[in-house]
Every structure is written in C-alpha cells, then in structure tokens.
Amino acid sequence: MLRFYWVIFWNFYHIYMIPKMAYMARHTEKFDEAKRYKIARRAIYYMMRTGNIKTTCDGLENLPKEGGYVMYPNHQGKFDALSIMITHAAPCSVVVDDAVSYGILIKEFIDLVEGERMKLDDVRQALKIIKKTSSEVKEGRRYIIFSEGGYKNNGNTLQEFKPGSFKMAMMAKAPIVPVALTDSYKVFGKNSLAPVTAKVRYLPPLYYEDYKDMNSREICALVKTRIQQAIDEELKTRSKKRKWFQHK
C-alpha cells in the first residue's frame, strides 16, 4: 500500500481530476464513453508515471476487432483492471466487488467507466448484474470480470475460478478473452517504491462457436488452464533469462 499513498501524494496537484471524473460520470449525456475512457486512462498514466510503474503487453492481435466481448483475467490486486485498461485502447468497463468499490479514487474511477458493482453474497443481485452486462455486451460493450472474485496474497498463483462468472459471455453469445496477468500484485501489494513492471497477455479468444456445447464449469476450467499455461510460460522465460545473465 506504500506505493498507493505515494501516488496519491505526488498527484495532489491533479486533485482537480477527482471532481472532474465525478462530474463526467454524472453527466453521461454530455460525455460519451470514449471521452470518459480517455480521462480514465489519463488518470492511470499519471499514477504509473509517479509510482515507477510500467506495464508491458502481448497479444493485442487476439482482441476481437468488432462487437462486444468479455475479458476474464486472473486477479492479483488493485492494479489489475488498470493494467488492462492502459493497454486496451478501445473503451471497456469492469465488474467489481461492491465491498471494495467505494474507496478513495476507486469510486470515481468505476463510476467514470460505468462499471458494475456486484455483491458477491447476494445471488439475486449478482444475477441481475450478469443479465444487465450481458445485454450491454450484445450491444457492443466490452467488460472485464474477475472470475476468481477476490485476491489475497496469491501473487502469480491462481485461485479457484467461479463458473458463474462466465454466464455473462454465455448469455450474450460473445467472445471470451482469457487474460494472463503477472506481477500485477507487486504494484500496490508490496510496501516498496522500487520500479515495478506488470505484464498483460491477451490470449486467443473463445468464440461462441467454440464453446456453445460446453457448460459454464467446462468453460471455466478451460480458461483457467489457458491462463495458467501462459503464466507458467512467462515465469519459465524469465527464469531462463536470469540464468543466461548469471552465466554471461
């Protein structure tokens, strides 16, 4: 959390952005999604610049060129959605846990991108959110939803994925884009101000034709396996590079 407070302190002269974000979120009739997303990405850029944060990205060519889709990343920490948005040029939104969605800057950010707050202990409310977002995906919106639900010192290790989260894409018959995040947890999860790099890797999508005969548990298992493989590959590559430099 040290870096989080450091970022807030060194961006104090950008404090005007908080009421600006709140105003834009309240007046969507004046500011379309593209304009609001641009401001959201600018805020992320300021955070990264003052916080010694970098994000690398692979697999942008895997993102569907048209229509709505749902991105399913692993969940490591508070920077996860931001690391995706700063690399994802087209406007997208996010489904988050209602319990953690009202913190400083978090509330304004979620409101700005018209994110949805899901109460994880309220099945009826969660189903309502899934129906609403699936309808929006049908109309062309793009969403991020964390199938793991939450995170707790899991680092680059995957937790249990929740099959119900895939209902959003299934109901919309939309592409499912697995996203592998590595080292995102280091950004705000470690008490350090040392430079940190998070990596985002967009994996090949599952189109409706690919999963139409599968149930949510099967889809969930497949997506988790692909993300795990991508993380394993990334960590293996890093290990080889370290050994190469050590023997050079």
Three-class DSSP category at 243? helix
Alpha helices, DSSP H, located in the chain: 2-10, 17-26, 33-50, 80-87, 106-112, 123-138, 167-172, 185-189, 208-211, 216-247
Domain region containing 164:
2-247
Give the Cα separation of 117 and 133 in Å (integer): 11
Tell me the pLDDT tens digit for each residue of 162-213.
Answer: 999 999 999 999 999 999 999 999 998 888 889 999 999 999 999 999 999 9
Give the Cα separation of 51 and 134 in Å (integer): 35
- In this prediction, the residues of the chain whose per-residue pLDDT falls under 50 are none
* CATH number (domain holding residue 214): 3.40.1130
Three-class DSSP category at 77? coil
Give the Cα separation of 148 and 207 in Å (integer): 21
Sequence-distant (6+) residues with CB within 8 A of 145 are: 70, 71, 72, 94, 95, 133, 165, 168
Nearest to residue 224, comparing CAs of 182, 163, 155, 133?
163
Beta strands 196-202 and 93-97, pairing class: unpaired
Q: Any idea what DSSP says for residue 71?
A: E
| Token duo for residue 219 | 């889809």
**What pLDDT, on a 0 to 100 scale, did the predictor assign at position 162?**
94
The single residue listed with the structure tokens 């639900």 is 149
Domain count, the chain: 1
